[in-house]
Amino acid sequence: MRKACAVIAIIMLITCILSGCQLKDEKKEDNNISNFIAVSSSKDIAGVETGEYAKRVDKLIKKYAKDAPKIEKHPFMTEFEKADALNKVDMALGLADDMAMSCVFDLESDTTFKIAAEVVKTYPHPLLLNNFGAMLAEKSPEDSLFFFLQALDQDPDNPVILVNAAYLYIEMDNFTEAENCAKNALLAAPDYGPAYQILTTIHLKNEDYILAAETMVKSAKHFFNDITIHHFDSFLEAVAELDPEVDEYPLQEEFIKELYMIAKENVDTNFVREGLDTPEAQLTLKPFPKINELELESMQQELFDMQSEILMEHDSVRREYYNYQYAVEDYLNEPSSAGNDIYPFKKNLRQIYAFKVLQSYYNFKLKKCALESEKKIMKFNEEASEREFKIMDELNERQASAQDSFDYNVLTPMRPEDLFEIERKAMEEYKLALEEIKKVYNSYTPEVISLSREQYNETKQILEEFWLRSGGIIKYITEEDILKQFDYERTMTVYEYIEYPIGNLLLWAGNLVGVETVMFYTDEIISILNSLGMIAEDYENIMSQNEAKEKGDDMIPDIEKQAITHFEEEGDLPDVGFEGDIFGFG
């Protein structure tokens, strides 16, 4: 962490101070360097006249460069000793640049440290004091801070030195002084990014996330480094844990607009994709389908087809997205590219994090809208279900009461048609209960349609706004794979959230169709019971008739009748009959 602070400070030194060196060169040409000579007066350094200052520097040399060879014959020191006052100024300030570079590129050696210390001891200019303090930041924060404060004594409004001191105060857990330094730096330079970065760190420490988010965005407008990335990553992780139902997004709308300015900084205008930020490239979603409460039930299939089409398109985009989903991660993890003598950097960091925050902001708004609507729909569903259960409980109680009142002691055999009639009446009661249940669900239908329409229109507005603003950011991305990843992500966002209102309507249509379906089959069962009752009654009549007929046939003797043929003798009987003498005839 200490080294990181030192490197950050030096990078800022390069970007912000070198312009001062350029001014110095211009002043030299005009033979006007009185300002530099005036601010470099050693009388402003505490302990110079008593020799305490020189002793402190010598102790540092002995402590951190004790193995360094003697530098009296070093080319720089030899030339520096021979130079006149004006040339010493030039050489000292030139050494300041070398000191900065040695920190940035980690090229510091005992020799460079010793040379820097000797020059600072001889010529305590605020620029040299600052850079020497940066060289000490990792070694000894206390000694480093001493030189920053000595520099501030001469140049109290220098934002670079103020921020460097603030970093050291944070390292030493003195957040009050760090905040004071950062605020003073902003008074001197209102747009100075590193000062806002200091404030972001302090706000995070104080758990003031709204202010932290605001200063984070302000710092990124003109300044971007590893700490900026850390702040953005921490912010994105934190907001991902927020609950849209109860929490508010910590970054206000006015600062969301600043993301566009962040994305515009340090871009290669030759690669700006203006086609992504034109009216023709904007998202235009269809209006909400025209539905009234009487049509919802009949539109179930149409709604199902709409939902299926959206889900299929979403799935198609997702499959393409899988080819690019790690483009940003790979880019952030790969080594920075650099040419000869150029500090390595990545061109798309600002655009990546500007898009990520914008995406996070609109995802939060979309989730909030979806959850609010879902919560209301579920409330309607729960209320309707409770009323449905109440109706069914009352039906069950009535039927149970009728069953309890039945006297089993006088039980007499029941005809089948009587049993079918009992079942039919029970189903008729059930049908009446279903009609009441359908009325319950129908009573919520207008509110469900209105709520879904409002959700769709709000979602539509959020998505179209997100598409417009995100296009204004990703058009500055030069890495093709990153552009595709973000483009697919925002497309998937559209398909994901535009489906929710359709899903809510489909849910409610399903409730209505479900009740109607049960009613249909209840009617079928009643019809069947009616038919079975009629069949049973007809069957009983047929059986009664058959039984009566069989009973009448049993009263007629079963005697076979044959024709009388002839009588052989007088008194003979026919072949079939009986003997007459049986009855006493002779």
Q: How many CA atoms lie within 13 A of 7 on its CB side?
A: 13
Q: Which residues pair with 345 in a beta bridge?
A: 337
Collect all residues with Cβ–Cβ distance below 8 Å to 176 and sequence separation of at least 6.
Answer: none
- Write phi, then psi, for 240 (nearest 5 degrees): -65, -25
What is the chain's mean pLDDT, rounded? 77
pLDDT at 192: 92
Q: What pLDDT, on the 0 to 100 scale, is given for residue 469?
A: 93
What average pLDDT does this structure show over 129-147?
Answer: 84
Query: Is the confidence at residue 515, as pLDDT, over 50?
Result: yes
Spatial distance between the Cα atoms of 416 and 394, rounded to a whole number of angstroms: 28
- The average pLDDT across 185-196 equals 94
CA 151 to chain centre: 46
Q: What is the pLDDT of residue 75?
A: 59
Q: Could you give all domains of the chain from N- to C-terminal order, each with its CATH number? A: 2-190 (1.25.40.10), 297-334+344-403+413-550 (no CATH)
Bigger pLDDT: 254 vs 85 = 254
For residue 115, which of 91, 143, 148, 138 has the smallest C-alpha distance?
91
- At residue 570, the pLDDT reads 54
Please indicate whether residue 86 or residue 210 has the higher confidence score (pLDDT). Answer: 210
pTM: 0.74
Range scoring the smallest mean pLDDT among 126-130, 146-150, 173-177, 449-453:
126-130
Confidence of residue 373 (pLDDT cuts 50, 70, 90): very high
To the nearest whole percent, how much of the chain has pLDDT over 70? 66
SS3 345: strand
Give the model confidence (pLDDT) of 152-170 as tens digits.
988 999 999 999 999 999 9
Q: Rounded to whole angstroms, how far apart are CA atoms 328 and 355?
A: 11
- Name residue, tokens 């009987």: 573
CA distance 368 to 466: 15
H/E stretch holding 532 reads helix 480-553
Across 150-154, 264-268, 470-474, least confident range: 264-268
**In this structure, what token pair is assigned to residue 106?**
């980690």
Nearest of 94, 163, 173 to residue 133 by alpha carbon = 163
AA letter at 413: P
Average pLDDT over residues 181-191: 95
Are 505 and 453 within 8 A, CB to CB? no
37/476: higher pLDDT: 476
3-state helix, strand, coil split of the chain in percent (to 5) is 75, 0, 25
Handedness of CA 142, 147, 153, 158 (dihedral sign): negative
Tell whether the model's pLDDT for residue 145 goes beyond 80: yes
Note the pLDDT of residue 58.
73
- Least-confidence region, from 27-36, 301-310, 554-563: 27-36
Task: Report the range of poorest mean pLDDT among 294-298, 311-315, 438-442, 552-556.
Answer: 552-556
User: In Å, how far from its chain's centre is CA 21?
Assistant: 47
Least confident span in 22-36, 189-203, 562-576: 22-36
